[in-house]
């Protein structure tokens, strides 16, 4: 009997503090006069083990991620490994340490006419990529987004407005993730699970907010200057740079607005395979 009472009390407590993202919110209780009054609870991360951390107490210091140029004996960028070590507890990674395969990811800020060609190449080469979308992209390009889904690629969350996540209050950061999550679920039937913070900017708090929304943060272990459409890298030099940077578990950040990326993608995939790497 005692166990049953305890279990019921625990269930009532849990229901009173959880919100859609697993955060404590407002609950109600009776005051001494029997009237209901609102009680503001602290925002805490909730995990299977229970309340773990007060979100508001976590650091809001902004960090701008970059993988750096230093590498280990496997050619893995040490900046990515250091990020994993420091922030893995928030379900965040910049390199895949549990696989040797290379993952190609594309940030989709706006459409520049090359995504269809990139999808053609990926289909021809039988490679599945991750496409990080902002909501405006999904709204403006539903046919391309549906094609990504139909051809087995992962569509992932790059936020609603592409704001710097560590500059936002937790509830606003949460909305940047979950409002787009709802849009994709309602319009494409997809429940996204991966998030890439805009501009690679993060804080300990923003990573924790992302985690408690049920997302994993995916950064990258290699990126290069491909985003400036008015100053595109020379194709042969870009191909050499991308191949020479290959390493086990690599996460490549590419931009689909790049004419160079669209041009060299097939050769890159062939070259990586020739160098002994598998692609997702």
pLDDT digits (tens, 9 = 90+) for 217-258: 999 999 999 999 999 999 999 999 999 999 999 999 999 999
11 and 107 part of one domain: no
**Residue 250 falls within a domain, yes or no?**
yes
51 and 95 part of one domain: no
> Number of folded domains in the chain?
2
214 and 264 part of one domain: yes
Per-residue pLDDT, 241? 98
pLDDT digits (tens, 9 = 90+) for 75-98: 999 999 999 999 999 999 999 999
Is there a catalytic annotation at residue 107? Answer: yes
**Residue 130 falls within a domain, yes or no?**
yes
52 and 89 part of one domain: no
**Is the dihedral angle over the CA atoms 241, 247, 253, 255 positive or is it negative?**
positive
7 and 120 part of one domain: no
SS (H, E, C) the chain: CHHHHHHHHHHHHHHHHCCCCCCCCEEEEECCCCCEEEEECCCEEEECCEEEEEHHHCCCCCEECCCCCCECCCCCEHHHHHHHHHHHHHCEECCCCCCCCEEEEEEECCCCCCHHHHHHHHHHHCCCCEEEECHHHHHHCHHHHHHHHHCCCEEEECCCCCCCHHHCCHHHHHHHHHHHHHHHHHHHCCCCCEECCHHHEECHHHHHHHHHCCCEEECCCEECCCCCCCCCCCHHHHHHHHHHCCCCCCEEEEECCCHHHHHHHHHHHHHHHHCCCCEC
Spatial contact of 256 and 107, defined as CB atoms under 8 Å apart: yes
Of 10, 28, 57, which closes a domain?
A: 57
93 and 225 part of one domain: yes
In degrees and rounded to multiples of 5, residue 63 shows phi and psi of -120, 135
139 and 192 part of one domain: yes
Out of 63, 181, 247, 255, pick the active-site residue.
255
pTM value surpassing 0.85: no
162 and 244 part of one domain: yes
Spatial contact of 166 and 61, defined as CB atoms under 8 Å apart: yes
Q: How far is CA 49 from the centre of its chain?
A: 24
Other Cβ atoms less than 10 A from the Cβ of 41: the count is 12
The CATH number given to whatever domain includes residue 148 is 3.20.20.370
14 and 116 part of one domain: no
What is the residue range of 51's domain?
2-57
**Residue 279 falls within a domain, yes or no?**
no
Out of 63, 107, 226, 247, pick the active-site residue.
107
For the chain, list residues with pLDDT below 50. Answer: 1-20, 22-52
142 and 186 part of one domain: yes
Per-residue pLDDT, 49? 37
49 and 67 part of one domain: no
**Residue 212 falls within a domain, yes or no?**
yes
Per-residue pLDDT, 56? 87
**Residue 280 falls within a domain, yes or no?**
no
Of 10, 30, 57, which closes a domain?
A: 57
Is there a catalytic annotation at residue 73? Answer: no
120 and 240 part of one domain: yes
**Residue 163 falls within a domain, yes or no?**
yes
């Amino acid at each position: 009997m005692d166990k049953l009472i305890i279990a019921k009390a625990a269930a009532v407590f849990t229901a009173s503090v959880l919100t859609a993202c697993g955060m404590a919110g407002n609950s109600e209780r009776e005051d001494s006069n029997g009237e209901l009054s609102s009680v503001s609870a602290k925002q805490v991360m909730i995990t299977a083990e229970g309340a773990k951390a007060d979100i508001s107490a976590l650091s809001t210091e902004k960090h701008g991620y970059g993988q750096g140029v230093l590498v280990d004996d496997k050619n893995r960028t040490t900046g990515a490994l250091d990020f994993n070590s420091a922030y893995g507890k928030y379900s965040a990674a910049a390199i895949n340490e549990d696989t040797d395969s290379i993952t190609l990811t594309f940030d989709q800020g706006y459409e520049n006419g090359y995504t269809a060609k990139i999808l053609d190449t990926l289909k021809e080469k039988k490679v599945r990529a991750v496409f990080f979308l902002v909501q405006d992209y999904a709204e403006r390009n539903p046919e391309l987004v549906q094609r990504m889904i139909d051809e087995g690629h992962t569509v992932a969350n790059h936020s609603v407005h592409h704001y710097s996540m560590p500059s936002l209050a937790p509830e606003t950061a949460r909305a940047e993730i979950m409002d787009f999550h709802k849009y994709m679920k309602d319009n494409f039937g997809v429940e996204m699970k991966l998030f890439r913070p805009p501009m690679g900017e993060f804080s300990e708090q923003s990573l924790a907010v992302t985690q408690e929304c049920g997302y994993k943060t995916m950064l990258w272990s290699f990126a290069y200057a491909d985003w400036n459409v008015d100053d595109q890298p020379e194709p042969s030099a870009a191909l050499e740079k991308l191949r020479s940077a290959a390493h086990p578990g690599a996460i490549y950040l590419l931009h689909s607005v790049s004419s160079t990326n669209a041009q060299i993608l097939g050769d890159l995939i062939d070259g990586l395979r020739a160098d002994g790497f598998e692609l997702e």
